[in-house]
């Protein structure tokens, strides 16, 4: 029988190994076909897959069994200065006083991103052997910055890992974890389909091709696509650490996250001692944390992290105040937020509740050139501001009557300033530090009508609260 300490240490060794292995291939659409670390690292990679969980470690140590949504939100605001994708959306929302669960839905293009699924191990380990509790706290965690499949992905991972840490087989844990997903979840449907395909073919490439052909996303962090890769690697890997992790990383896309989650699951299953030494010795038990984490008393080694998790497990795991997810995950209701961003589209007044101006709601414009106008007013003190405009349509952008940007194709929009697709980022600092701009967007006739994403960020991807008026 594998002791809990060995399983948790194996879980986080596997997390560290997989994240470091996959980091050079994050976002790649080309399968790397690697067999070991390439390049060989000198130390573990700082990675949000593990870093963010250290914030939750400190929150658990501070609040113990009383930890709730508000405590998580407070810790996230105080300790995380990472504004990529859904993290930045949630930080902006929380800073504006928008509470969870709305913090994960409002103005969030990335509700189905992978940013929550990658931080499930802390809940699984503290609530080892209690997948219902692990799933409940994973739901609280993920609804800070996600909704729908982005939440279900972390709930599944936490329940899976908790069950394994409690001694279940991989097959038992995977089937149990699926019971926490609603039947209409795309993840649940994909996992069920992969089980059938594996029984029919026994071929990992059949599973991979099915995901690419039926669940591919142009956003490389999509939780459903990448969740399918991890599920397939676990299924085909047969509990072998090296085989499983290499299958996951060589799916590309969010390669570091997929390898890290797969490594964590198999590390928990077999325990630290059974992870091949050549994978562990390179990282030397160390934890490297990115400078975007603003916490004190962070663990410096996997051993220290494991000991502190064991202490929490012994202290709170059986507390009567610990909540448990009963049945499948049902997302909490939240009040919709409307920023009332005002625009003119071909002379008609309209508004948007957030960065997305939904032109399909204006069907009378189908097949026409579109002329969108608004006046942007930046807040006092805002510096290094950049305007993001993204849309499937072919467009030009003018600021104060001067040409500022051109997009000449119909690539799909991904409105993140650090990795924008289907759009343009325009430095407003080139406009002589002005605070007010006349914005015009001209979209070539496109069918069906495309949404348009408009938002202002700084160079660190922080959302700048901007007024939009006509």
**pLDDT tens per residue across span 3-17:** 999 999 999 999 999
Higher pLDDT, 120 or 332: 120
Q: Are 44 and 22 in contact (CB under 8 A)?
A: no
Give the pLDDT of residue 343. 96
Q: Residue 433: what pLDDT?
A: 65
pLDDT in tens, 448-468: 889 999 999 999 999 999 999
| Model confidence pLDDT, tens digit, residues 64-84 | 999 999 999 999 999 999 999
Superfamily for domain range 4-316: ADP-ribosylation/Crystallin J1 (1.10.4080.10)
Q: How confident is the model at residue 333 (pLDDT cuts 50, 70, 90)?
A: confident
Closest residue by Cα to residue 387 from 436, 450, 338: 436
As its CATH architecture, domain 341-469 has Sandwich (2.60)
pLDDT at 41 over 90: yes
pLDDT of residue 117: 98
- pLDDT attached to residue 267: 99
Task: List, for residues 284-305, the tens digit of each pLDDT value.
Answer: 999 999 999 999 999 999 999 9
Cβ–Cβ < 8 Å for 85, 110 = yes
* Residue linked to tokens 């579109």: 370
C-alpha–C-alpha distance, residues 40 and 281, integer Å: 12
Once rounded to an integer, what is the mean pLDDT over residues 98-126? 97
Candidates 92, 109, 177, 121; CA nearest to 148 is 109
Q: pLDDT of 239-280, one tens digit each? A: 999 999 999 999 999 999 999 999 999 999 999 999 999 999
The pLDDT assigned to 432 comes to: 59
Confidence band of 368 (pLDDT split at 50, 70, 90): confident
Shortest CA distance to 49 belongs to which of 295, 267, 331, 260? 260
Confidence at residue 1, expressed as pLDDT on a 0 to 100 scale: 86
> What is the reported pLDDT for 198?
99
Mean per-residue pLDDT, 383-390: 93
Alpha carbon distance 248, 293 (integer Å): 27
Residue 83 is predicted with a pLDDT of 94
| Reported confidence tier of residue 325, pLDDT bands at 50, 70, 90 | very high
Q: Strand pairing partners for 439?
A: 374, 399
List the single range of 71-85, 227-241, 326-340 with lowest mean pLDDT: 326-340
Q: Contact at 8 Å (CB) between 262 and 164?
A: no
- pLDDT value for 35: 98
Tell me how crowded residue 403 is: count the other CB atoms within 10 A of its CB.
10
Question: Is residue 367 pLDDT above 80, yes or no?
Answer: no
pLDDT score of 115: 97
Any residues with CB less than 8 A from the CB of 290 and at least 6 apart, and which? 46, 47, 48, 51, 82
Instruction: Tell me what pLDDT residue 435 has.
Output: 87
Are 461 and 408 contacting, i.e. CB atoms less than 8 angstroms apart?
Answer: no
For the chain, the average pLDDT equals: 95
pLDDT over 90 percentage in the chain: 89
Asked whether the predicted pLDDT for residue 134 surpasses 70, the reply is: yes
204 pLDDT above the threshold of 70: yes
431 has a pLDDT exceeding 70: no
CA distance 396 to 370: 11
Position 430 confidence tier, pLDDT thresholds 50, 70, 90: low
Q: Find the mean pLDDT for residues 366-394.
A: 91
Q: Spell out the residues 6+ positions from residue 33 whose beta carbon is closer than 8 angstroms to its own.
A: 250
pLDDT (mean) for 382-390:
92
Q: Specify the range with the lowest mean pLDDT, choosing from 191-205, 358-372, 405-419, 431-445.
A: 358-372
Domain-by-domain residue ranges, the chain?
A: 4-316, 341-469
- Examine the pLDDT at 398 and tell me if it is beyond 80: yes
Report how far residue 188's alpha carbon sits from residue 168's, in angstroms, rounded to the nearest whole number. Answer: 20
3-state secondary structure the chain: CCCHHHHHHHHHHHHHHHHHHHHHHCCECCCCCCCCCCCCCCCCCCCHHHHHHHHHHHHHHHHHHHCCHHHHHHHHHHHECCCCHHHHHHHHHHHCCCCCCHHHCCCCCCCCECCCHHHCHHHHHHCCCCHHHHHHHHHHHHCCCCCHHHHHHHHHHHHHHHHHHCCCCHHHHHHHHHCCCCCCCHHHHHHHHHHHHHHHHCCHHHHHHHHHHHHCCCCCCEHHHHHHHHHHHHHHHCCCHHHHHHHHHCCCECHHHHHHHHHHHHHHHHCHHHCCHHHHHCCCCECCCCCCECCCCCCCEHHHHHHHHHHHHHHHCCCCCCCCCCCCCCCCCCCCCCCCEEEEECCEEEEECCCEECHHHCHHHCCCCEEEEEEEECCCCCCCEEEEEEECCCEEEEECCEEEEEECCCCCCECCCCCCECEEEEEHHHHCCCCEEEEEEEECCCCCCCCEEEEEEECCCCECCCEEEC
Report how far Cα 233 is from the mean position of its chain's Cα atoms: 20
Does residue 90 register a pLDDT over 90?
Answer: yes
């Amino acid at each position: 029988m594998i002791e809990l300490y060995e399983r948790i240490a194996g879980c986080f060794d596997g997390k560290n190994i997989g994240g470091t292995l996959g980091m050079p291939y994050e976002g790649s659409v080309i399968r790397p076909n690697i067999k070991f670390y390439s390049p060989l690292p000198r130390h573990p990679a700082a990675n949000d897959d593990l870093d963010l969980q250290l914030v939750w470690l400190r929150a658990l140590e501070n609040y113990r069994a009383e930890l709730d949504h508000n405590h998580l939100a407070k810790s996230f605001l105080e300790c995380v200065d990472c504004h990529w994708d859904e993290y930045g959306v949630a930080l902006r929302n929380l800073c504006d006083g928008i509470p969870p669960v709305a913090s994960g839905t409002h103005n969030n293009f990335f509700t189905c991103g992978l940013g929550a699924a990658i931080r499930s191990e802390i809940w699984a380990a503290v609530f080892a052997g209690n997948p219902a509790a692990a799933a409940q706290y994973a739901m609280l965690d993920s609804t800070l910055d996600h909704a729908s499949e982005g939440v279900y992905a972390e709930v599944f991972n936490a329940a899976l890992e908790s069950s394994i840490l409690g001694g279940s087989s991989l097959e038992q844990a995977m089937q149990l974890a699926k019971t926490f997903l609603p039947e209409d979840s795309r993840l649940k449907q994909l996992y069920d389909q992969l089980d059938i395909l594996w029984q029919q073919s026994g071929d990992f490439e059949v599973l991979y091709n099915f995901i690419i052909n039926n669940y591919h996303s142009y956003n490389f962090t999509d939780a459903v696509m990448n969740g399918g890769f991890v599920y397939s690697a676990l299924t085909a890997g047969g509990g072998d650490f090296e085989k499983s992790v290499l299958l996951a990383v060589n799916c590309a896309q969010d390669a570091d996250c997929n390898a890290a989650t797969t490594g964590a699951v198999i590390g928990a299953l077999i325990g630290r001692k059974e992870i091949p030494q050549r994978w562990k010795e390179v990282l030397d038990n160390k934890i490297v944390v990115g400078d975007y984490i603003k916490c004190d008393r962070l663990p410096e080694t996997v051993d220290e992290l494991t000991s502190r998790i064991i202490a929490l497990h012994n202290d709170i795991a059986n507390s009567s105040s610990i909540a448990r997810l009963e049945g499948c995950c049902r997302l909490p209701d939240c009040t919709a937020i409307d920023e009332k961003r005002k625009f003119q589209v071909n002379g008609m007044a309209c508004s948007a509740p957030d960065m997305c101006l939904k032109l399909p709601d204006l069907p009378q414009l189908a097949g026409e050139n579109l002329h969108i106008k608004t006046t942007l007013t930046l807040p006092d003190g805002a510096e290094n501001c950049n305007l993001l405009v993204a849309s499937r349509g072919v467009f030009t952008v003018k600021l104060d009557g001067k040409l500022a940007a051109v997009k000449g194709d119909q690539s799909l929009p991904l409105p993140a300033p650090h990795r924008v697709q289907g759009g343009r980022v325009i430095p407003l600092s080139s406009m002589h530090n002005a605070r007010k701009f006349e914005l015009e967007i001209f979209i070539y006739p496109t069918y069906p009508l495309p949404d348009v994403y408009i938002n202002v960020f700084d160079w660190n991807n922080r959302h700048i609260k901007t007024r939009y008026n006509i």
